[in-house]
Amino acid sequence: MEQVMWDGGRGTGGGEVDEERCPAGVIVTLTPAQPNSELVSICTTTDNMNKNFKWVERGYGKNSIKLLHVRRDSAVHSIKEFVVSTQLTLASDKDYIHGDNADVVATDSQKNTVYILAKKHGVTSPEDFALLLCSHFLAKYPHVQEVVITVDAYPWRRQVVEGRAHNHSFIYSPECLHTCKVDQKRGEEPLVTTGLEGMRVLKTTQSAFVNFVSDEFRTLPDMKDRIFSTIVSSSWQYNKHKGVDFGKIWVTILKIINDKFSGPPDTGIFSPSVQNTVHLIQQAALTDVPEISQIKVTMPNKHYYTVDLSKFKEVGSKDNNEVFLPVDTPSGNIMAVLSREDPCQVKSKL
């Protein structure tokens, strides 16, 4: 069996095409009626093939493009290590429908573009680099309708040796991962989303969980003083992209999360629930950073259960508030997305 584009002439392989049934310009499937016989035609238009279906989403690109950029403007060097992923959506779907690759910008070419733009323009924040890539693909290829760029920035920081910042030595400091995503459609402003992942925090007191639903399914006791540990993930959407200091805002929100989780160094801050801590973080972020329109925070519980030592007389007491068993799963998961009541109004003030 083979498929050809019927042009009004003779089919391939010696098969005749019924011109009344198959007008020129449609897909023709040629298949032998009997072994070793001539090919006969079955014509199907593109419309007939797809009239019951519609695209929900499509796109293609290159995942996990690894990039290290070294800035050597002076004796003091700077580095940025990114993992970049690209995705393009074309105006035409002929690459999917007909296997016609005429408009396809190869994923290998997309990868090369990342390196070339890094060389030509340098690398600052993940957001600015993602915006640069979006702008390039839309300007370079008029048949590209949408570009989505994601960037993960690895957490390197400068080494301190003998009390001084080192000129060219760095240490990997995995406090958390800086993420971003920029989605831009042709003729529209880019949507910039920044985030952080893997921020593992723990405090040994100033946390409780009491007065929750008590019924036949409950076994968990009230906990008036407990260990609170979680791995924070957060993402926030910007309401503009021009003139924004993305790096400064990322540091600001990181500080807000730390402040609302930890509190003052001597006394801390009381958390009656993970939900309340999530909300305090979100309120502070939207209040202090007018450039963002909404923020999502996810805090899964990382449980530490008291080890039962009551059977061991040498311990001296059945009470134990020092030795705990870390438990990964199952665990609770608390999430919320908080936005401004009227994001458009905030935009007009900026």
CA-CA distance, 272 to 208, in Å (whole number)? 5
> Six-digit token pair at 89?
């959506």
Q: Is 301 known as a binding-site position?
A: yes
Helix (H) or strand (E) holding 193: strand 191-203
- Establish whether 108 is an annotated binding residue: yes
* Two tokens, residue 86: 């690209």
147 is in an annotated binding site: no
Measured in residues, the chain has a length of 350
The answer to whether 323 is annotated as binding is: no
Residue 299 has a CB neighbour count (10 Å cut-off) of: 26
The reply, when asked if residue 206 is annotated as ligand binding, is no
- Following CA atoms 3, 9, 12, 16 in sequence, which dihedral angle do they give, to the nearest 10 degrees? 90
Please enumerate in sequence order all residues whose Cβ is within 8 A of that of 147, keeping only pairs 6 or more positions apart, or say none: 86, 87, 88, 89, 133, 134, 137, 138, 182, 183, 184
Beta carbons within 8 Å of 55's beta carbon, 6+ residues apart: 93
Per the residue annotation, which of 46, 69, 98, 107 is the catalytic one? 107
Q: Is cis: bond before 330, omega within 30 of 0?
A: yes
69 in catalytic set: no
**Catalytic residue of the set 77, 166, 303, 347:** 303
> Could you give the 3-state DSSP secondary structure of residue 99?
coil
Q: Residue 213 in 3-state DSSP?
A: coil
C-alpha pair distances (Å), 13 with each of 5, 28, 30: 13, 13, 8
Distance, CA of 123 to CA of 71 (rounded, Å): 8
- Is-catalytic flag, 119? no
Partners of residue 42 on adjacent β-strands: 29
Q: Are 271 and 207 in contact (CB under 8 A)?
A: yes
Give the residue numbers of the binding site: 107-108, 209, 226, 274-275, 301
Which residues are tagged catalytic?
62, 107, 303
Give the residue numbers of the binding site for urate: 107-108, 209, 226, 274-275, 301
Give the residue numbers of the binding site for 5-hydroxyisourate: 107-108, 209, 226, 274-275, 301
Give the residue numbers of the binding site for O2: 107, 301
